[in-house]
Amino acid sequence: MKILKKILPCLTLILTLFLTGCTNQSYSLIVNSDDSSTLKVKYVVDSDTYDLLDSYDLDKDYNFEKKETSSNPIEQCDVLFQETAAVFSQYGFRIKPVNDAVEIGFEAEKQYASIDELNKDLPSMYNDGLINFTGEVKVTKNLLKKEYLFSGKVKYLLDPDTEISEEDKNKILDFYDPSSLHAKVSMRMPGDLVAHDGKIEEGMAIYTATYNDNKEVPVHLKTKITNKSMQMIIITGGIVIVAVGGLFVSRFIRKKKEQRNNQEMYEDETM
């Protein structure tokens, strides 16, 4: 997301955080038991940081214009986010602008009818540099259970093509702390939790990569749906088999005993 390059040198880093997609990023993925899913993406920056940029007389040579009265949600977004919001829209996401006293940015949401659709979209958007979160959902099932396994990663890295001198970076870090910037993944899949490498908050598995990490954070989550009806059928069937088997064994033993008794009686009579 490179919209603006003509800026004051001391603001290079902050503006780059806006323009390379490295604002605060939230990814919410919910997979349902019918294998449909919902992916929500939120890109925002806090209002204080935004006001810091807005307080400077910058050469804003944008291709977009914010139109709050427009019915187009992309045009309702702040100009710094419209280009990225437009790309999400091309991927089939519904766009919702975020313009309040706390955050500036947008939210994007997309419904997927199948796991295959989701698995195709995530790496495509990641490779295009649109999101910093990717992975794959694998589903395995048999008569007794259905398991979901997500394997992926999230990162918070600046665009490697961005050229920021150490001098400019040190200038901006003197009065701006980017350590709070983060990319956060919240995920929930059907069934009982089996394993994860994040943390659990309100039923969601949480994974966070921060600006200071400067590395990829693994995202793994495994859940299981147990087919309790089939289990009950198998247990009941087992009980019936044991009971019937026990009945046959009991009858067999009784019959053998009767035969032995009859034989003994016959031997006594012949003596």
In the chain, % of residues over pLDDT 70: 61
* Residues 212-256: tens digit of each pLDDT: 777 889 999 999 998 667 556 766 766 767 766 666 767 767 766
Task: State yes or no: pLDDT of 48 exceeds 70.
Answer: yes
Give the domain extent around 42.
Answer: 9-226
83 and 110, same domain (yes or no): yes
Residues 153 and 266 in one domain: no
pLDDT for res 271: 54
Does residue 38 belong to any structural domain of this protein? yes
Note whether 240 and 254 are same-domain residues: yes
Let me know if residue 63 belongs to a domain. yes
Does some domain include residue 4? no
243 and 151 fall within a common domain = no
Model confidence pLDDT, tens digit, residues 65-82: 556 677 899 999 988 889
CA separation for the pair 13, 184 (Å, rounded): 21
Question: Where does a domain end: 189, 206, 226?
Answer: 226
Residue 126 CA to residue 129 CA, distance in Å, equals: 5
Claim to verify: residue 81 and residue 200 sit in the same structural domain: yes
In a domain, 2, yes or no: no
CA dist 96 and 110 (Å) reads: 12
Per-residue confidence (pLDDT) for residue 81, from 0 to 100: 87
Asked if residue 244 and residue 150 are part of one domain, the reply reads no
C-alpha–C-alpha distance, residues 7 and 128, integer Å: 26
Instruction: Clarify whether residues 28 and 53 are in a common domain.
Output: yes
**242 and 137 in a common domain:** no
Residue 89's pLDDT is what?
96
| Average pLDDT of span 85-93 | 95
pLDDT for res 246 = 66
C-alpha to C-alpha distances, 129 to 125, 155, 167, nearest whole angstrom? 6, 11, 27
Tell me: do 88 and 219 sit in the same domain.
yes
Q: What is the pLDDT of residues 1-22, one digit of tens each?
A: 433 333 334 344 455 545 444 4
- Three-state secondary structure string covering the chain: CCCCCCCCHHHHHHHHHHHCCCCEEEEEEEECCCCCEEEEEEEEEEHHHHHHHHCCCCCCCCCCCCCCCCCCHHHHCCHHHHHHHHHHHHCCCEEEEEECCCEEEEEEEEEECCHHHHHHHHHHHHHCCCCCEEEEEEEEECCCEEEEEEEEEEECCCCCCCCCCHHHHHHHHCCCCHHHCEEEEEEECCCEEEEECCEEECCEEEEEEECCCCCEEEEEEEEEEECHHHHHHHHHHHHHHHHHHHHHHHHHHHHHHHHHHHHHHHHHHHC
pTM for this structure? 0.73
> How many structural domains comprise the chain?
2
Q: How large is the greatest C-alpha to C-alpha distance in the chain, in angstroms?
A: 128
> Residue 86 burial by CB count (10 A; 0-12/13-18/19+): exposed, middle or buried?
middle
Domain-located, residue 1: no
pLDDT band with cut points at 50, 70 and 90 for residue 60: very low
- Does 3 reside within a domain? no
pLDDT for 61 equals: 47
**270 and 141 in a common domain:** no
pLDDT at residue 90 in the model: 95
- Is residue 183 located within the same domain as residue 254? no
pLDDT at 129: 87
185 and 233 in a common domain: no
What is the distance between the alpha carbons of residues 201 and 19, in angstroms, rounded to a whole number? 31
For residue 179, is pLDDT > 80? no
